[in-house]
Chain A
Amino acid sequence: MISSVGILITWLAFLNLLVILLINKKDLYQLLVRINLFLHFLLFCILEIALFLDDFSLNYIANYSASSTPPLYKFASLWGSLDGSILLWNLVLSFYFYLYIKIYKKNNELYDIKIFSLIIIFFNGFTIFSSSPFAGCIQLASVGCADFTLLPFQNLVESLSGRGPNPLLQNHPLMAIHPPMLYIGYVGLVLPFVIATSELINKNKNEEWIKIAEKSTYMPWVFLTAGISLGAAWSYEVLGWGGYWAWDPVENVSFIPWLLATAFLHSAKTQIKEFTLLNWNYALSCLMFLSVIFGTFITRSGVLISVHAFSNGNIGTYLIIGLTFFTLLFLIIGIKNIEYFQSSSKVTNFFGRTGFFVANNLLLAGSAIVVFIGTIYPLFYETIYSKQITIGRSFYDILVGPILLLLIYLMIFSTKITKNNLKITSWLEENYFEINLSIILSIIFTFFFRSSFKFAITVLGSILLVVIIGKNILNKAKKTKLQGSYWTGQIAHLGIGIFAIGLIMNVSQSYSSELIISSGDTIQFGNQEFNILNPNEVQKNEKNVINLPIQKNNTTKNASLNIFKNSTQQAISSPAVFRNVESDTYITIKVIDDNNFKLIFRKNYGIFIIWLGLAISSLSFISRLKR
């Protein structure tokens, strides 16, 4: 029943989108775009209802939810696997369509409506022709569903219970927030793509397009930053390895659009203020969205191995067709506008705004290229040599590290960016006290954390950045209200400075040790004493949890092993984390052997400072809000 309703509404939404694409009535599309949003919201609600009703006649629910799944994770199961996440993707896309005509649409042309509806048709079409979360189950597997149909009103079979979500996805509440946040950011990059292509198709060019494109990139940027940060937090809290970023392909493909969007937010300013870099801005505004489709292709087609990858037979081909089509659209419109691009002003002030922004863009685009190469090189290698290869952290350390270092030093000058060239000697004199203070702080830091030369230089840049921008914000906050894009930038840069300090503390000083203990033991780790109490076992519907209480001073925290009933996979270890401003003690159970536990104790420095910096950067949008 729910399956048929869902499939019929998907078709209805598809037809509605076709009408938007094909009609030329300017007064009608407003209504149809609202209907489109309504239909997608309805689909979202229907799938949620089906998840809560445990309707196992749906292939998706039989395979990715179970009656024993707790409510929060039932709710989050909607985006727990490929088909459902496409539904969320379409809802977000439809929301942006509505937002676009409501806020950003400034002209009376219909090109933008056509391009936008084409993009949604493409993603909506996937749920019609390839696989849908509403597909009914026609053949049972031993657990869950083995075969499905995309047609309504079929004779469906219903399994008794579902297979349940992937254990990793039902172990922490952040799972309910991180993916939607990330999607709102990721999918939002469709806006600059639509704005740039539709405005440049237009013969009567609207010179405002770059301003609108820049404004529209900002909200996705904020959500992307917050979404990536929450993902890092999730990884730290759930995966039990004490880290937050692994250069995993899926992390990489969320990072590439972030780098490009950050570059675009800067370079758009040069066009708005000085009418330079027209072609570069056009390219960036499109590449952001193309990198999103590419990223989805890489991670959803099963070509790469990753914690996040859900593979599915034909989405790969489907996405590659879309990627080719939208890339051609971007290229053709670009070629048609060569004359327009040539009207761009020459760059003259290489130590002023444009110069700084060009350098910033080269570095950000450079790191995007490095991350891109690191992500796809294993694919090429496997195709050519038929052997697998893994690109790990050290590759990115070698290449992205120095780029980030240069970016930090560039950001120091962001307090004083004007059209005219910066006079370095007068800048040094003005900030004489701050420079000396920062070097002294860096010496203390380097001594305390025993940092290497490269970290000492990085930390000097980061402290300078925090000190100089901090002073700038404090000075001017008294006189003026901190509003406008200048202050957004300053606050975001301050956050990155703080983040970088935390990051260096973390990589230069963290240590760990592996200990075999039994309950009643007292462990000495990093000048602190930990008492191991008696373990207990908790039976829940969906899992058994073995808790090992660990006591430090008067606080007790549980390190636990979660054994999920629906999974043959290994148990998942949840860490006990004793938090502190400068360092965390992070304890995970590795193996239980009779009454002995093999524990890993980690001293992780700077984690709180990393979260603080990321939070400040994500919240930088506050200064943009109008009263």
Chain B
Amino acid sequence: MKKLVPLILLSILIITSIFFFEDTDSRYEKLSKSILCPVCQGETLFDSPSEYADDMRIVLREQIDNGLSDKQIMDYWSSRFGDRINTNPQNENLILIIFPLFLGFIFFILFYRKIKE
């Protein structure tokens, strides 16, 4: 019985997180956070206070209102400002994710073999 209490509580926690989860980021926020402001120094459209970014945000809102898909919107901006405008390059550059994971895997194997010794 004593062991059951934390397990029950834990499952309540998991259920709460699944059923009550609410994503506060609107589609506009998600997209404006993944597009770089081309005239600023390393800031996204969402963050940048510049007027240029403001104009771009207006265009982005129109695109969302017109029902363009995420891919269409990203393609539009990339074609005008180059790929560097996309702040999520890991989707096209999987090596970025795979290489560190591979390193981690090797470390883990070495570590595991030491434990077995």
Q: Digitize B1-41: 1 where CB-to-A-CB distance is under 8 Å, 0 elsewhere.
A: 01001100110111011101111100001000110100001
Does A570 touch B at the CB level, under 8 Å?
yes
Does A391 touch B at the CB level, under 8 Å?
yes
CB distance from B73 to the nearest CB of A (A): 16
Do B107 and A362 touch (CB < 8 A)? yes
Which of A248, A347, A447 has a CB less than 8 Å from the CB of B20?
A: A447
* B72 proximity list for chain A (CB < 8 A): none
**Contact A439 to B86, CB < 8 A, known contacts A446-B13, A447-B20, A573-B49:** no
- Chain A contact-residue range equals 35 or more
Which of B42, B84, B88 has a CB less than 8 Å from the CB of A306?
A: B42
CB distance from B97 to the nearest CB of A (A): 6
CB distance from A439 to the nearest CB of B (A): 4
A388 to B36 Cα, complex, angstroms: 12
Do A358 and B111 touch (CB < 8 A)? yes
Do A460 and B13 touch (CB < 8 A)? yes
A443 to B2 Cα, complex, angstroms: 19
Do B87 and A393 touch (CB < 8 A)? yes
- Chain B contact-residue range equals 35 or more
Do A392 and B36 touch (CB < 8 A)? yes
**A588 nearest in chain B by CB position:** B49
**Contact A391 to B87, CB < 8 A, known contacts A432-B2, A443-B9, A598-B54:** yes
Do A443 and B12 touch (CB < 8 A)? yes
Which of B46, B82, B88 has a CB less than 8 Å from the CB of A387?
A: B82
Q: Digitize A402-415: 1 where CB-to-B-CB distance is under 8 Å, 0 elsewhere.
A: 00000000000000
**Contact A369 to B20, CB < 8 A, known contacts A392-B34, A398-B90:** no
**A366 nearest in chain B by CB position:** B104
Does A455 touch B at the CB level, under 8 Å?
yes
**Contact A248 to B13, CB < 8 A, known contacts A370-B100, A394-B34:** no
Most chain B beta-carbon neighbours within 10 Å: one of A246, A374, A387, A443: A443
* B41 proximity list for chain A (CB < 8 A): 305-307, 309
Do A450 and B54 touch (CB < 8 A)? no
Does B70 touch A at the CB level, under 8 Å?
no
Does A452 touch B at the CB level, under 8 Å?
yes
Do B36 and A390 touch (CB < 8 A)? yes
Within 8 A of A (CB), among B59-112: 82-90, 93, 96-97, 99-101, 103-104, 107, 111
Which of A350, A392, A432, A598 has a CB less than 8 Å from the CB of B44?
A: A392
**A442 nearest in chain B by CB position:** B13
* B82 proximity list for chain A (CB < 8 A): 387-388
Main SS at interface, chain B: helix
**Contact A452 to B36, CB < 8 A, known contacts A370-B100, A398-B97, A590-B49:** no
Do A443 and B16 touch (CB < 8 A)? yes
Within 8 A of B (CB), among A337-366: 347, 350, 358, 362, 366
* B42 proximity list for chain A (CB < 8 A): 246, 248-249, 305-307, 390
Q: Digitize A229-261: 1 where CB-to-B-CB distance is under 8 Å, 0 elsewhere.
A: 000000000011111001011000000000000
Which of A240, A241, A435 has a CB less than 8 Å from the CB of B6?
A: A435
**Contact A390 to B86, CB < 8 A, known contacts A307-B42, A453-B21:** yes
Do B47 and A241 touch (CB < 8 A)? yes
Do A399 and B100 touch (CB < 8 A)? yes
A457 to B13 Cα, complex, angstroms: 9
A242 to B46 Cα, complex, angstroms: 10
Q: Digitize A474-516: 1 where CB-to-B-CB distance is under 8 Å, 0 elsewhere.
A: 0000000000000000000000000000000000111110000
Do A511 and B13 touch (CB < 8 A)? no
A446 to B47 Cα, complex, angstroms: 27
Which of A239, A305, A439, A598 has a CB less than 8 Å from the CB of B10?
A: A439
Do B24 and A246 touch (CB < 8 A)? no
Does A456 touch B at the CB level, under 8 Å?
yes
A249 to B17 Cα, complex, angstroms: 34
Do A246 and B12 touch (CB < 8 A)? no
Do B47 and A243 touch (CB < 8 A)? yes
Do A392 and B13 touch (CB < 8 A)? no
Do B16 and A447 touch (CB < 8 A)? yes
Do A453 and B5 touch (CB < 8 A)? no
Do B51 and A570 touch (CB < 8 A)? yes
**A377 nearest in chain B by CB position:** B96
Within 8 A of B (CB), among A51-91: none
CB distance from A141 to the nearest CB of B (A): 23
A377 to B87 Cα, complex, angstroms: 13
* B101 proximity list for chain A (CB < 8 A): 399
**B115 nearest in chain A by CB position:** A350
CB distance from B91 to the nearest CB of A (A): 9
* A447 proximity list for chain B (CB < 8 A): 16, 20
**Contact A389 to B34, CB < 8 A, known contacts A243-B47, A307-B42, A370-B100:** no
CB distance from B70 to the nearest CB of A (A): 13
CB distance from B66 to the nearest CB of A (A): 19
Do A241 and B99 touch (CB < 8 A)? no
CB distance from B88 to the nearest CB of A (A): 5
* B18 proximity list for chain A (CB < 8 A): 453
A457 to B41 Cα, complex, angstroms: 35
Do B54 and A591 touch (CB < 8 A)? yes
Do B97 and A451 touch (CB < 8 A)? no
Do B103 and A456 touch (CB < 8 A)? no
Do A392 and B87 touch (CB < 8 A)? yes
* A328 proximity list for chain B (CB < 8 A): none
* B83 proximity list for chain A (CB < 8 A): 387-389
Known: A432-B6, A453-B18. 19 other contacts (CB 8 A): A239-B49, A241-B49, A307-B42, A307-B43, A347-B114, A369-B103, A373-B99, A388-B83, A391-B89, A398-B97, A399-B101, A436-B5, A439-B10, A447-B16, A450-B24, A451-B17, A452-B17, A452-B23, A509-B24
Residues of chain A touching chain B, judged by Cβ–Cβ distance below 8 Å, are: 239-243, 246, 248-249, 305-307, 309, 347, 350, 358, 362, 366, 369-370, 373-374, 377, 381, 387-395, 398-399, 432, 435-436, 439-440, 442-443, 446-447, 450-453, 455-457, 460, 508-512, 570, 572-573, 588, 590-591, 598
Q: List 11 A-B contacts (CB under 8 A).
A: A242-B47, A362-B107, A362-B111, A373-B96, A389-B84, A392-B88, A395-B96, A452-B23, A456-B17, A509-B24, A570-B49
**10 tightest CB-CB pairs across the interface, nearest first?**
A392-B87, A456-B17, A388-B84, A241-B47, A450-B22, A439-B9, A453-B17, A511-B24, A446-B16, A452-B21
